[in-house]
Amino acid sequence: MTILGIESSCDETAAAVYDGKKMLSNIIASQAVHKTFGGIVPELASRAHHKTITGTVEQALNEAGSCIDDIDAVAVTSGPGLMGSLLVGLCFAKGLSLANKKPLIGIDHMDAHMYANFIDEEPDYPFVCLIVSGGHTRLVYVDEPFQHTILGKTRDDAAGEAFDKIGKILGLPYPGGPEIDQCAQKGNPEFYEFPRSMMNKGFEFSFSGLKTSLLYYSKEKGEQFVQEHLYDICASVSEAITDVLIVKLERAVVKTGVTSVLLAGGVSANSMLRKKAEHLSHKLNVKLFIPKMEYCTDNAAMIAITGYMKAQRGEFDDMGLKPYAKLN
Ligand code: KG4
Ligand code: ZN
Tens digit of pLDDT for each residue in 283-319?
Answer: 999 999 999 999 999 999 999 999 999 999 999 999 9
The residues, ordered by sequence, that sit 6+ positions from 317 with a Cβ below 8 Å of its Cβ are 78, 104, 105, 106
Tens digit of pLDDT for each residue in 16-65?
Answer: 999 999 999 999 998 888 888 888 899 999 999 999 999 999 999 999 99
Q: What is the mean pLDDT of residues 1-28?
A: 97
> Which of 74, 43, 55 shows the shortest CA–CA distance to 13?
55
Q: Is 80 in the pocket of ligand 1 (CB under 6 A)?
A: no
| Structural domains counted in the chain | 2
Residues 243 and 135 occupy one common structural domain: yes
Query: Considering the domain boundaries, does residue 169 fall inside one?
Result: yes
Q: Is 269 in the pocket of ligand 1 (CB under 6 A)?
A: yes
Sign, CA dihedral 307-313-314-316, equals negative
* Helix, coil or strand: residue 73: strand
The residues, ordered by sequence, that sit 6+ positions from 72 with a Cβ below 8 Å of its Cβ are 1, 2, 3, 102, 103, 311
Query: Considering the domain boundaries, does residue 205 fall inside one?
Result: yes
Q: How far is the CA of 100 from the centre of ligand 1 (A)?
A: 35
Cα–Cα distance measured from residue 301 to residue 298, given in angstroms and rounded to the nearest whole number: 9
Query: Considering the domain boundaries, does residue 111 fall inside one?
Result: yes
Residues 284 and 300 occupy one common structural domain: no
Domain harbouring 259, CATH code: 3.30.420.40
Q: Is 164 in the pocket of ligand 1 (CB under 6 A)?
A: yes
User: pTM for the full model?
Assistant: 0.97
Bridge partner list, 5: 16, 75
Tens digit of pLDDT for each residue in 77-111?
Answer: 999 999 999 999 999 999 999 999 999 999 999 99
Residues 139 and 257 occupy one common structural domain: yes
Residues 247 and 153 occupy one common structural domain: yes
Whole-angstrom CA distances from 240 to 32, 71, 245, 264 are: 29, 45, 9, 19
Bridge partner list, 18: 3, 23
Residues 178 and 66 occupy one common structural domain: no
Query: Considering the domain boundaries, does residue 199 fall inside one?
Result: yes
Minimum-distance ligand to the CA of 272?
1
Residue 204 has pLDDT above 80, yes or no: yes
Residues 203 and 271 occupy one common structural domain: yes
Cα–Cα distance measured from residue 211 to residue 192, given in angstroms and rounded to the nearest whole number: 14
Neighbours of 265 (CB within 10 A): 29
pLDDT given at position 89: 98
Query: Considering the domain boundaries, does residue 328 fall inside one?
Result: no
Query: Considering the domain boundaries, does residue 324 fall inside one?
Result: no
Write phi, then psi, for 135 (nearest 5 degrees): -105, -20
pLDDT given at position 38: 84
At 325, the amino acid letter reads A
Residues 109 and 72 occupy one common structural domain: yes
Query: Considering the domain boundaries, does residue 323 fall inside one?
Result: no
Query: Considering the domain boundaries, does residue 177 fall inside one?
Result: yes
Tens digit of pLDDT for each residue in 210-230?
Answer: 999 999 999 999 999 999 999
How many Å is the maximal CA-CA distance in the chain? 62
pLDDT given at position 256: 98
* Helix, coil or strand: residue 150: strand
Q: How far is the CA of 190 from the centre of ligand 2 (A)?
A: 30
Q: How far is the CA of 153 from the centre of ligand 2 (A)?
A: 16
Q: What is the mean pLDDT of residues 1-26?
A: 97
Residues 274 and 302 occupy one common structural domain: no
Q: Is 81 in the pocket of ligand 1 (CB under 6 A)?
A: no
Q: What is the mean pLDDT of residues 245-262?
A: 98
Residues 305 and 260 occupy one common structural domain: no
Give me the domain span that covers residue 142. 122-291
Residue closest via CA to ligand 1's atom 1 equals 266
Cα–Cα distance measured from residue 121 to residue 26, given in angstroms and rounded to the nearest whole number: 18
Residues 95 and 175 occupy one common structural domain: no
Write phi, then psi, for 76 (nearest 5 degrees): -145, 145
Residues 240 and 301 occupy one common structural domain: no
pLDDT given at position 37: 87
Cα–Cα distance measured from residue 29 to residue 166, given in angstroms and rounded to the nearest whole number: 26
327: pLDDT confidence band, cut at 50, 70 and 90?
confident
pLDDT given at position 237: 98
- Which is the closest atom of ligand 1 to the Cα of 298? 3
Cα–Cα distance measured from residue 42 to residue 303, given in angstroms and rounded to the nearest whole number: 21
Q: How far is the CA of 309 from the centre of ligand 1 (A)?
A: 25
pLDDT given at position 87: 98
Question: Parallel, antiparallel, or unpaired: how do β-strands 3-7 and 104-108 relate?
Answer: unpaired
Residues 24 and 145 occupy one common structural domain: no
